[in-house]
Amino acid sequence: MSTAQPTQQNHVYETHMRRALQEALRGARGANPLVGAVLVSADGEILAVGHHRGAGSLHAERDALNQLEARQDLDLTSATLYSTLEPCRHQGRQPACTEAVLDAGVGRLVYGAADTTEAAGGGGRRLAEAGVEVTGGVLAEDCERLNHRWSLAQEQGRPFVTVHLAQSLDAKIAASDGTSQWITSATSRAHSHRVRQRVDAILVGTNTVLVDDPRLTARDGQGNLTVHQPLRSVLGLREVPAEAALRRGSPEGQGWRHLRTRDPLEALRTLAATTHQGHPVRHVLVEGGQSVLSAFVASDLVDEIFAYQAPIILGTGRSSIADIGVTTLQHAPRYELDPADGGPVQLMEADVCTHLQP
Ligand code: AOF
Ligand code: ZN
């Protein structure tokens, strides 16, 4: 197994790896990394491209290789598979990519970032030992940056955190009398229900439960429950009332869970050790309110934000974020647009959803 050196050959590697990076961005951020793959013939023809669509779905390498099913006659011994991430060598929710590469008879593998997870890592070595010509580390920085926050979550032993911010033009989440339903449009709320369908758990603070009494279910456009329902979790030391809407229909530990702590990292670690619908919680949607949002921002536990801004001004309402320990501009956490989206998304009338990352 070799590491990329600056040569003419590398120029070719980088060109194809850039394409794989573009493919990776088509996936959904969250409980699994963004991964793209490109299969290239010896004379430079792109035979197939693939990407990983999100947790539990096909890995990028298989997504690409599957496209060749109708071309069984193709001899891939002189072809090169490019993958932004080292192919996994474990059977998880998906079968190991290393075996797919071997089954397809691909002669060369070029990957970007190493998979450092204990379970899946080491695929490059496995393939090299099986006779595949393997080069790792091509555009490694770009490939790593793509999943920087995902890797950080892995290292910290916690789920990936998506934050939902639905606020007024002046960044308020409620009027001063506490009313908050609804600040954003029905279309914005429908968008956030689609996000709920992608996560393993939703998290709110006890205050939100006491004031808003949310159901925290994922519902479709008609208001019906969708097939996948995330775990409903509550952070904080105050009790969750027996009649709270989120407790309806399930005993504690089944559909909902009280995390009796004020420490966001401790709450996340507890969630990571919790099984919901057969697998551990790997992706959490933090929905508020103010103290929970502030705690996550202040602890740098935000991996992605969906910020919905409605054309309404609430004045002396409740701010979405309170004290995060920042007193000067230089120390303010700054976010950038998610490169996959390209810009804010106009949802309805003047509501705008901005998809951001740290
Ligand atoms: C790849 N290609 O496209 C992705 C990989 O639960 P599973 O089976 O989906 O496995 C998840 C692990 O596999 C994940 O933690 C990461 O190490 C790797 N993801 N690997 O070869 C891919 N998404
Ligand atoms: Zn894989």
- Cα angle 252-301-281, degrees, rounded to a multiple of 5: 35
CA 226 to chain centroid, in Å, comes to 20
State in Å: Cα 214 to ligand 2 middle.
37
Residue 347: what pLDDT?
59
Residue 338: what pLDDT?
82
Measuring from atom 2 of ligand 1, which residue has the nearest CA?
A: 59
Reduced to 3 states (helix: H, G, I; strand: E, B; else coil), residue 225 is strand
Contact 353, 347 (CB under 8 A): yes
State in Å: Cα 209 to ligand 1 middle.
35
Sign of CA dihedral 290, 296, 298, 303: negative
Sign of CA dihedral 138, 144, 147, 152: positive
Residue 120 Cβ contacting ligand 1 at under 6 Å: yes
What's the alpha-carbon Rg for the chain, to the nearest Å?
A: 22
State in Å: Cα 85 to ligand 1 middle.
9
CA 335 to chain centroid, in Å, comes to 16
Residue 21: what pLDDT?
96
Contact 257, 276 (CB under 8 A): no
Annotated catalytic sites, by residue? 61
Instruction: Please check if 199 is assigned to a binding site.
Output: no
Averaged over successive runs of 10 residues, the pLDDT of the chain (358 residues) comes to 71 97 92 95 96 92 93 90 97 94 97 93 96 97 93 94 96 94 91 94 97 95 93 98 94 94 98 95 96 97 94 95 96 87 62 84
CA atoms within 13 A on the CB side of 105: 9
Q: How many CB atoms lie within 10 A of CB 90?
A: 17
Contact 25, 34 (CB under 8 A): yes
- Cα separation, 298 vs 303, whole angstroms: 13
Residue 3: what pLDDT?
67
- Cα separation, 334 vs 358, whole angstroms: 6
Residue 29: what pLDDT?
84
| Residue type, position 67, single letter | Q
The candidate with the shortest Cα–Cα distance to 320, out of 184, 145, 119, 130, is 184
Atom in ligand 1 nearest the alpha carbon of residue 56 = 9
Residue 340: what pLDDT?
75
Q: How many CB atoms lie within 10 A of CB 211?
A: 15
Burial of 118 (0-12, 13-18, 19+ CB in 10 A): exposed
Atom in ligand 1 nearest the alpha carbon of residue 123 = 21
State in Å: Cα 87 to ligand 1 middle.
8
Atom in ligand 1 nearest the alpha carbon of residue 154 = 15
- Cα separation, 150 vs 344, whole angstroms: 22
116: its two tokens = 């450092």
State the angle between helix axes of 264-272 and 290-298 in degrees (0 to 180), rounded to the nearest 10: 90
Residue 168 Cβ contacting ligand 1 at under 6 Å: no
Contact 187, 351 (CB under 8 A): yes
Residue 122 Cβ contacting ligand 1 at under 6 Å: no
Contact 127, 14 (CB under 8 A): no
309: its two tokens = 């801004």
Annotate 46-103 with DSSP letters as a single string.
EEEEEE--STTSPPHHHHHHHTTGGGTT---TT-EEEEEEPPP-S-SSS--HHHHHHH
Residue 87 Cβ contacting ligand 1 at under 6 Å: yes
Instruction: Please check if 289 is assigned to a binding site.
Output: yes
Instruction: Please check if 99 is assigned to a binding site.
Output: no
Strand partners, 318: 174
Measuring from atom 12 of ligand 1, which residue has the nearest CA?
A: 120
